[in-house]
Amino acid sequence: MSTATVGIAQPGNATRSRWTPVCPLDRLDLDRGVAALVDGVQVALFRTADGLFATDNLDPVGGAYVLSRGIVGSRGGVPTVASPLHKQVYDLSTGRCLDLPGVAVRSHEVRCRDGLVEVRLRQEG
């Protein structure tokens, strides 16, 4: 399920500081990304041996919503995703680009509770 959208969490009256259920954990393949719409934001979800990660799906360099289709790996023990467009590598924990100083993708909090993956969006800024 490397490029499919796993779920759409519809916006509600709650603020973006809430946990939003996205999909069952078993819908996420190891070392693959998937896209999900969380409160109107395209999010890329990743399941690796190091855990679960969520970032915006928007590639900040290429300007397209493609990070969920990137190559998952690691650099120096840091879990990463390489953009499928221009191959910049992003730290999945922080969103920081490891190739271009000052470039980053917004990362989000993600957890698995009772077998269900939940995301809490971080505010921009």
**Does residue 15 sit within a domain?**
no
Q: Catalogue the E-assigned strands of the chain.
A: 5-9, 20-24, 32-38, 41-48, 51-56, 71-75, 78-82, 89-91, 107-113, 116-120
Provide the domain count of the chain.
1
- Domain of residue 80 covers 21-114
CATH (domain of 64): 2.102.10.10
> Is the pTM above the cut of 0.75?
yes
* Residue 33 and residue 45 in contact, taking contact as beta carbons nearer than 8 Å: yes
Residue 124 falls inside a structural domain:
no
Q: Mind listing the pLDDT tens digit of every residue in the chain (125 residues)?
A: 333 445 544 444 344 579 999 999 999 999 999 999 999 999 999 999 999 999 999 999 999 999 999 999 999 999 999 999 999 999 999 999 999 999 999 999 999 999 999 999 998 75
